[in-house]
Structure 1
Amino acid sequence: MSMIRSMYRCFGRRGGDGLMWQMELKPHASGDFSIAVVQANSSLEDQSQVFTSPSATYVGVYDGHGGPEASRFVNRHLLPYLQKFSSEQGGLSADVIKKAFHATEEDFLHLVKRSFPVRPRIASVGSCCLVGAIANNVLYVANLGDSRAVLGRRSPGKVVAERLSNDHNVAYEEVRKEVKELHPDDSAIVVYCRGVWRIKGIIQVSRSIGDVYLKKPEYHPFGNIGPMRRPALSAEPSIHIRELRSDDLFLIFASDGLWEHLTDEEAVEIVYTSPRSGVAKRLVGAALQGAAKKREISYDDIKKLEKGVRRHFHDDITVIVMYLDNQDQDLFSPSNRKSNKKGIFTSPPMDIYSNT
């Protein structure tokens, strides 16, 4: 896994928004991809990466909360584990994915144990995790939390949005029911607090990496959160496996900052009707327009806000758009490498783009 640790900055232009970065189209084995990120928090808590090779493409979007430490940790560990276990077990599978998530969670628990005496706040940081992988024309999507993957596929005369991940957020009744059934002896496991449903009155997502104080109460640094006989949050990912088809056009992987302001259908329509160049940035811009409209101000006004203050108007937002229209072409063949004017595949044979 030495090559996956060699990381390249993926973001270029900031455009008119000093807190937005984007990377325009780059090739992967099934088409092109584009990334855009806008910061709202004092420290960027979103992390993202795309790993490409001749045989597989991996995508990761990690939305941290309570601080950036957990999402940065996941960014360094999850995909290396995924590729390691995939190689050891002869390919991707649901078991390989679960094993990679479990190993990442265990490593973070060890970090918390070592750091807690001098940095107790480390027990209160966590991260949602969204991972996509394409290998042998099969798409794997795994997630914890409420980042989301949506597929745009062709239908007669239109494009259809197909959600490929589960939102593990107690704002949804079915998630509240799931959490309550797992904690029948805790009447306060989910409470309505400050206008929203929250687990233990604290957090909305029901699955994450980290948040150790809600999984092991001896690490709670801020006082008693009440009796907890078992972890309040889970690190078990939901996994969707699907063969790619000829009518599958593109994938959108994004942190919940996008989905707070755009529906699945709106996001898919924007990608479908927009030029490819800068398409991820266009999605972020549409979300920011929505955020501005809700607060009855202009997007130009939002762009003037400093990080930290800006969090009162929208969250950090990360978007990765992956086109799927070259599924039968080998973009890594020598002829295609030669024709690639950007020279992205000249060396090494595996590249990773990461906003660390």
Structure 2
Amino acid sequence: MGEKREKKDSGEKKIRKYFNFISKLLVSTAVGFLFGLFVVLLMERFSLFKKMQEINFTFLSALIYIMLALFININIHELGHLVFGKLAGYKLISYRFSIFTWNNENGKMKLSLQFNQAYSGLCAMIPQKKGTAKIADLLFYAGGIIFEMLFSIIFLIAFLYTEGFWAALFFFTAIIGFVTGIINLIPFQSANIPSDGKIIWSFLFNRSVADELIELSDLGSQLVAGVPPAELKVSLAATTEELDSNDLSFVYLAYLKALDEDDQDTYQEAARILEENIALYPSYSLPGIYYEICFTACISGDEEKAREYYQKVRKTLEKDRDINGFRVKAYYEYYINKDREKVLACAQSGLAVKDKYPLKGQAILEEKLIKKLLAKLEVE
């Protein structure tokens, strides 16, 4: 009888899920249609179609304009998140503009080049205090779309007063900005990452996704403020068949909490879940996950796995000058390479930069783990 009720509840949840998705899709489509109609009427009113016909371009030049327009809009989108995030008091962790990436390292934004990310953007920010206003969170996630729409109008106006190359570029950038802005407003999930639209609609209708994001933001802001992982109110919940990016973020926080509490069974289980779902992570998140899988493999004595994941992230680790990178290197040198001198060097370097780590609460854990390793060296 219980199984039938569970199946019925599961079926009802799926129906509600699909109904919510379809209703949001219809609303987003309606908004997009009305906005598109506005653009068409605007173009008709100012004879923009006629002006566009006066510009001579080939298929190849049109393709180049489209590629440039996409590139410009991607970065305008991320700039929107950055601006609204700063206005909301968020802390910048990472920002990517084409091949240029700035990461918060030792309290400063450090520039690096990532040639495999040449056509993408990223703006990773977290609140600096617990319980930011809901409207501030909403504007941060909507910031990309707001900027795309705003700049598209600006580009369309600029198109009216320019000729030749610039007129064509402004036109394509405006149109693609409108299109990508509307697409971003649609609630969907790609590579296990929810679209801005899915998050925005969740905030507006108090759906579970928004609640999870608010909880994750609060937990992240506690780490920034200096609350150690052991004091976070998070646990390793029972795994489900379909984990999403939010679920994995909770698993990672539960992993840090278990490390801080020296709960080996829990952090090993969390590491297993992270590894099993490694394909769900976007590329920019993988190094941090590789760090922890390598770390737990070192502790558990799985040398083969430790070497495998160390090689996956070796180049990143060699450049990492944060305390968490030094902690992983120190444990690898101790358990795998058995190099006492390198263990001491990595441990001392890590402790020296502890106060500069942006997540103050995690820095306390990193210091604790390094000192634990140094204590092992002293008794040998």
Q: Which has the higher helix share?
A: 2
In which range does the TM-score fall when normalised by the shorter chain? under 0.3
Using the size of structure 1 for normalisation, the TM-score is 0.25
Q: Which has the higher strand share?
A: 1
Using the size of structure 2 for normalisation, the TM-score is 0.24
Bigger RCO (CA 8 Å, 6+ sep): 1
